[in-house]
Amino acid sequence: MRSAKPIALPIAGLLVAALYGNCARAEIRVQGPADDVRVEANGATVLEILAALGEHYPVRYRGTPESGGVIETFEGPLRRVLVRVLKGNDFVIKGGSDGLEVIVLSRGSSPTAASPVIPASLVRRPGLRVQGPADDVRVETSGATVVEILAALGEQYPVRYRGTPESGSVTETFEGPLRRVLVRVLKGNDFVIKGGSDGFDVIVLSRGSSTAASPAVTATIGPSLMPK
């Protein structure tokens, strides 16, 4: 006759047992308020930890993080815990009034993950002019696409980009510091800007956005620019 093994569910916290056969013994315990979180992981994947945090706090995520089993205890404010849990992945964290959104850009921390390629063969339209230093940029465009503007900025400043922004033609003049110009150029897209000592990475998450008036701009939180 089979005997069922008892499963302890502590009252002080959230205990999540993995549902996958190869992680049957994985355990995650989450407790505490958002400014003093404690996560105890025993063989759980990063994806399972994010799911458990999402059940306990306003946390959402996109992408597929590194999937190795984690045996560790994380403590601190929610954002700091997320940064530690995601160590080894290329990611950003968008914070807002409705919680935190984690966007995993790639699995692992390969050297090429943070160096997207800008099309060098892109044909420049006559009506696109970029000038000035990085703290006082002036972009004059007459019918160029956002991709062409980003490519032109990338040839003159340390700017790289990923994703496919809205492709409609733009006739406008943009002026100001490089980051501010990028935000204005990308208006209408859902994006993040990662800034560091080696320039800016622009990550376009989707084409167009219902929240076009509030583009998602955030400081970098990833392996190459992790807070020290």
Look at the block and give the residue holding tokens 């590194």: 66
Check residues 119 and 107 and name the one with the higher pLDDT.
107
Q: pTM of this prediction?
A: 0.52
128's CB contacts (< 8 A; 6+ apart) are 139, 140, 141, 142, 144, 148, 149, 152
Over the chain, what is the mean pLDDT?
Answer: 75
Residue 126's pLDDT is what? 55
Look at the block and give the residue holding tokens 């980009």: 161
- pLDDT of residue 212 exceeding 70, the answer is no
Check residues 48 and 8 and name the one with the higher pLDDT.
48
Residue 33's pLDDT is what? 94
* Coil, strand or helix at 131: strand
- pLDDT of residue 223 exceeding 50, the answer is no
Q: Cβ(16)–Cβ(43) under 8 Å?
A: no
pLDDT tens digits for range 11-54: 334 444 434 444 445 799 999 999 999 999 999 999 999 999 99
Residue 11: exposure state from Cβ atoms within 10 A (0-12, 13-18, ≥19) = exposed
CA dihedral 109, 44, 54, 6 (to 10 degrees): 180
Per DSSP bridges, beta strands 99-106 and 59-62 are parallel
The token pair at 134 is 């990085």
The full set of domain ranges for the chain reads 14-106, 128-225
14-106, CATH topology level: Phage tail protein beta-alpha-beta fold (3.55.50)
Nearest to 219 by CA among 85, 95, 115: 95
Residue 105's pLDDT is what? 78
Per DSSP bridges, beta strands 199-206 and 159-162 are parallel
CB atoms closer than 10 angstroms to residue 124: 13
pLDDT tens digits for range 133-154: 999 999 999 988 888 899 889 8
Q: Helix 46-56 crosses helix 78-85 at what angle (to 10 degrees)?
A: 160
